[in-house]
Amino acid sequence: MTRRTRYLSMVLCLLCAAIVAGCPGDRVSRSTGEAVDDSLLANKVMLALYSDKQVSGRQIAVEAAQGVVQLSGVVASTAEAQRAVQIAQQVKGVKAVRNHLRVQEGPREHPPRTSSLLSHCEGALSI
């Protein structure tokens, strides 16, 4: 290689390295410790929601990233949504709570019981 080609390739390599080093990190590049901490935090919030009698925690999904907790799902009332946010804020390690809960209009639909679902399927099969 000529001196000029070597110099150009070295400059390009350094430029690429500088670009890669300057890129901001994302969720994929988090350390294992951060991922475990976020998972533990989300589980703590879920446990707090499940143990509260005013909140139907099973309808609420919890995600955590760097101490910020996001609540999403469906709740029966605005009061239940506010209570869920309050519970999440009280969990140690939570820096902020993002409320993406939706208040369901009208009565809640409960999933069909296994026995009624089974009888419905049996009835459909006996045609």
* CATH number for the domain harbouring residue 49: 3.30.1340.30
Which tokens belong to 60?
Answer: 């609420």
126 in a structural domain: no
117 in a structural domain: no
71 in a structural domain: yes
Q: How far apart are CA 35 and CA 97, in angstroms?
A: 18
38 in a structural domain: yes
- Domain count for the chain, please give it: 1
65 in a structural domain: yes
1 in a structural domain: no
H and E: helices and strands count for the chain: 4, 3
pLDDT tens string 11-62: 565 655 656 555 555 555 556 666 778 889 999 999 999 999 888 878 899 9
Please, what's the largest Cα pairwise distance for the chain? 85
End-to-end CA distance of the chain: 82
Which tokens belong to 78?
Answer: 């605005």
List the domain range (segments joined by +) for residue 74: 29-107
- 104 falls in which pLDDT band (50, 70, 90)? confident
120 in a structural domain: no
20 in a structural domain: no
- 101 falls in which pLDDT band (50, 70, 90)? very high
Which pLDDT score, from 0 to 100, does residue 103 have? 92
Q: Tell me the three state secondary structure of residue 69.
A: strand
Which tokens belong to 1?
Answer: 């290689």
- 114 falls in which pLDDT band (50, 70, 90)? very low
